[in-house]
Amino acid sequence: MKTIKMCKIALLIAISMGVIACGSDGKDGVDGADGQAGTPGLPGAPGADAAAPTVSASTMTNVEFINHIVADGMVTVEFGITNESGYAITGLTDASVYLAAKTENGMQRSRDGSVGGNATVGGSSPTTGASLTLLDNGNYQLVAPMAGVQADTEALIRLQVGGGDIAKSPYMLIAKPEMMHTSTTETCYACHVDYAESDLKHAGYVALNTDGEVDFVGGCMVCHNNVPRDIAADGTSLNTGGYAKNTMQMLGHINHQNFEKDFEPANCYTCHAEPVMNTSLAGNGCADCHNTSSSSSYAQVISNSNSSEFDAREFHLNKSGLETLQAMRVSYTAETTAPQKNDAGVWCTTMSLFDVSSGTKTQVNIGALYNKDGDTSGATNVVGKPIVYAGAYLHGYYNESIVGRFAGHGSNEVKTDNADGSRTHCFPSPSSGFDQASIMATARISLSYPGWVQDDGKTSMSFTAYSDAVDQTTGAVVKYERRLAVTSDSCTTCHNSETNYHKNGAYNDGGDDCVACHNNGQDRSAANSAPGFGPMVHSMHWGVGSALSGAKTDADGNKIANSATELSAVNCVSCHADGVDLNAIPNQYIRAKAFNNGDQTKMASPITANCFACHNGDQALNHMELNGGEISAEKGSGNDGTWFTQPTGESCATCHAEGRSFGIEKYHKFER
């Protein structure tokens, strides 16, 4: 909600009264004669300063901060309030102010008032000595006694007004010290998006600054300070120390360590947009993760550092090995050629890996650096042979969609390492049923790195390449294009480790590498939850796939849902920053998981498959099916070459495309 500025209120009132402030030619009207009655509101009229109408109730209360004074034992705040129509509000009886002081230990507000404090006028527990005075129409002075406050106290101050017939205003931060935290609203909202509109804990405490903009971290720190509340040995609160048991850094460090897949808490840049300059292991934040008695080497590093130069983010990135992974990610690129037939009439593709770290493309010799096929005996990479996987596949490509695997690994696949360092893969026994599709290739090359552990083949640095396609009839090269409805950093916001989920593809570029296997023509298992890339992602984060994944279990061995389920699934803007155009989704079937017998001939209509991943109740499915949607339809016997050419009957976009009467943007959030 945007705060209405006081300078705008007069205009709002004038408009609501139907007053016109200019003549017929757009110029100022004639000044009224001195001493004579004029028309209120017209330029020069004596009545122009007549009191504007006021109200004593509101359904929305806008606060305009004027000023504040911090004195010994006292905080005074002046502010103005208007209702939803811009009219000044009189009769306010309820207001509260909270102050967290900046101390040598960071921000702090104790419950007993010994540090910082709070005061309330009105309500069920008013503060003795606190007062609220109406200065003029809509402007008030709040006087709040706080014994633990001194005149030179630098503080974070939060204000809220309203109660009864006057709607409570949002919390507003009216003062905030510089550099009191190094994470930002933007980094938090990359995942939380709009915390105030969620059903998560304390959503109603989200605060605005004086410009009406969300200050998420600052608002939280009014209560979740840098200093925890003191707790007695029997577990009871002593009401000293800080206000809450959990400090802000504990919420950030401890509660954000155990995400589902490929999140590295040591990648401090994910949350800390500003440098973190702690120089004491016992300081705020460090002890949340590090035991001071067992982290002597870390303590030595930061004790020897210069506080103006030592950035804890950079140290953690290097110490965890993430710096090496990030350097590798931008140092290599993979390519593969469009499929072509060799002299024997066999389809082939040739992959290459290039080192681009110096700014020029230098070809890497795949054969010379390859850990030979089938050698999985070593837990770590073979010295001098960092390439642990190099594989290629051919696919059917139709209507800008990958519609199935035309050829892949098999007993008669032929691999040839070429003199220039490239590798050629030929496939003598391709699948049938792709006569109406073009043929394209994908290649994946995976590299180990220092400290790399095979971990059942689930961690390595992978680079995926997509070729253009070849029209089987004309031989013409068809440019490979695929509609990508997510943004480049959609996945890496959370999956920040630069590794890969079961080696198949990187999270970079919105998970584009994953499409080599998770595409419209291959029904990957995805915990038997959904076909294709989009439906799989929806399901594994918020649908049935989350509950079935089994990636995490509790102490009793019960499966724990994916961490993303803790976030609001309607906040689609986390991934779809540019919205979703249902009309742009190709009207063709995608592979579907058969629910009972594993039959691989089942198909789904694309929009239904995506929506059903989350909206998987019987009533929702019935609605989709009544409007032509399908999730498990028989549309062909395997790769018979026709299923991907058949249009579906679903009509979802008719009502649910953006801008329509029941557009998805009305029920899902596509804007920040």
Q: What is the pLDDT of residue 240?
A: 95
Q: Is pLDDT at 314 greater than 80 in this prediction?
A: yes
All residues at 6 or more sequence positions from 32 whose CB lies less than 8 Å from its CB, including other chains: 38, 39, 42, 44, 45, 46
Q: Return the beta strands (E) in 104-170 as ranges.
A: 106-108, 117-121, 131-136, 139-145, 155-161
Sign of the four-CA dihedral 278, 279, 284, 289: positive
> How sure is the predictor about 41, in pLDDT bands with cuts at 50, 70 and 90?
very low
**Better-predicted residue by pLDDT, 506 or 559:** 506
485 and 602 together in one domain = no
**Better-predicted residue by pLDDT, 454 or 246:** 246
Q: Is pLDDT at 616 greater than 90 in this prediction?
A: no
Helix-then-strand count for the chain, H and E: 14, 33
Average pLDDT over residues 354-365: 95
| Strand 500-501 to 505-506 pairing | antiparallel
545 and 425 together in one domain = no
Q: Is pLDDT at 152 greater than 90 in this prediction?
A: yes
570 and 539 together in one domain = yes
State how many domains the chain has: 5
Q: What is the pLDDT of residue 423?
A: 97
Please indicate, yes or no, if residue 499 is contained in any of the structural domains: yes
513 and 534 together in one domain = no
Please indicate, yes or no, if residue 82 is contained in any of the structural domains: yes
Q: Which two tokens stand for residue 527?
A: 């915990």
> How sure is the predictor about 12, in pLDDT bands with cuts at 50, 70 and 90?
very low
650 and 616 together in one domain = yes
Closest CA to 159 of 119, 103, 188: 119
355 and 449 together in one domain = yes
Rounded Cα distance, 41 and 45, in Å: 7
Closest CA to 580 of 493, 651, 486, 643: 486
Proportion of the chain in helix, strand, coil states, percent, rounded to 5: 20, 25, 55
Average pLDDT over residues 381-394: 80
Q: What is the pLDDT of residue 592?
A: 80
Closest CA to 112 of 142, 147, 143: 147
Least confident of 31-40, 46-55, 132-141, 185-194: 31-40
Q: What is the pLDDT of residue 46?
A: 42
Average pLDDT over residues 331-352: 96
> How sure is the predictor about 111, in pLDDT bands with cuts at 50, 70 and 90?
very high
Q: What is the pLDDT of residue 146?
A: 97
Rounded Cα distance, 588 and 405, in Å: 17
**Better-predicted residue by pLDDT, 382 or 668:** 668
Please indicate, yes or no, if residue 632 is contained in any of the structural domains: yes
pLDDT tens track for 488-510: 888 998 888 887 777 667 888 99
Q: What is the pLDDT of residue 47?
A: 43
Q: Is pLDDT at 78 greater than 60 in this prediction?
A: yes
Least confident of 186-190, 380-384, 413-417, 575-579: 380-384
Average pLDDT over residues 35-44: 39
pLDDT tens track for 203-258: 999 999 999 999 999 999 999 999 999 999 998 999 999 999 999 999 998 888 87
345 and 481 together in one domain = yes
Q: What is the pLDDT of residue 557?
A: 73
> How sure is the predictor about 3, in pLDDT bands with cuts at 50, 70 and 90?
very low
Q: What is the pLDDT of residue 613?
A: 86
The answer, as to whether pTM is greater than 0.85, is: no
Give how far Cα 217 sits from Cα of 41, 248, 573, Å: 44, 8, 20
For residues 73 and 147, the answer to whether their CB atoms sit within 8 Å is yes
Please indicate, yes or no, if residue 25 is contained in any of the structural domains: yes
Q: What is the pLDDT of residue 10?
A: 36
Q: Is pLDDT at 4 greater than 60 in this prediction?
A: no
Please indicate, yes or no, if residue 288 is contained in any of the structural domains: yes
Please indicate, yes or no, if residue 231 is contained in any of the structural domains: no
Q: What is the pLDDT of residue 283?
A: 67
**Better-predicted residue by pLDDT, 395 or 603:** 395
Q: What is the pLDDT of residue 5?
A: 35
> How sure is the predictor about 334, in pLDDT bands with cuts at 50, 70 and 90?
very high
Domain limit, last residue, from 453, 482, 517: 517
Q: Is pLDDT at 599 greater than 90 in this prediction?
A: no
339 and 300 together in one domain = no
For residues 229 and 238, the answer to whether their CB atoms sit within 8 Å is yes
97 and 206 together in one domain = yes
Q: Is pLDDT at 59 greater than 50 in this prediction?
A: yes
362 and 439 together in one domain = yes
Least confident of 132-141, 418-427, 454-463: 454-463
Q: What is the pLDDT of residue 30?
A: 46
Q: What is the pLDDT of residue 414?
A: 95
303 and 365 together in one domain = no
Report the chain's mean pLDDT, rounded to a whole number: 83
For residues 364 and 375, the answer to whether their CB atoms sit within 8 Å is no
Q: Is pLDDT at 303 greater than 70 in this prediction?
A: no
Domain limit, last residue, from 486, 517, 548: 517
Q: What is the pLDDT of residue 415?
A: 94
138 and 212 together in one domain = yes
Residue ranges making up the domain that contains 11 = 6-52
Domain limit, last residue, from 221, 248, 273: 221
> Residues of the chain with pLDDT > 70: what percent?
80
Please indicate, yes or no, if residue 568 is contained in any of the structural domains: yes
Q: What is the pLDDT of residue 281?
A: 66
Q: What is the pLDDT of residue 453?
A: 64
Please indicate, yes or no, if residue 244 is contained in any of the structural domains: no
For residues 243 and 111, the answer to whether their CB atoms sit within 8 Å is yes
Q: What is the pLDDT of residue 19?
A: 34
Least confident of 42-46, 108-112, 468-472, 667-671: 42-46
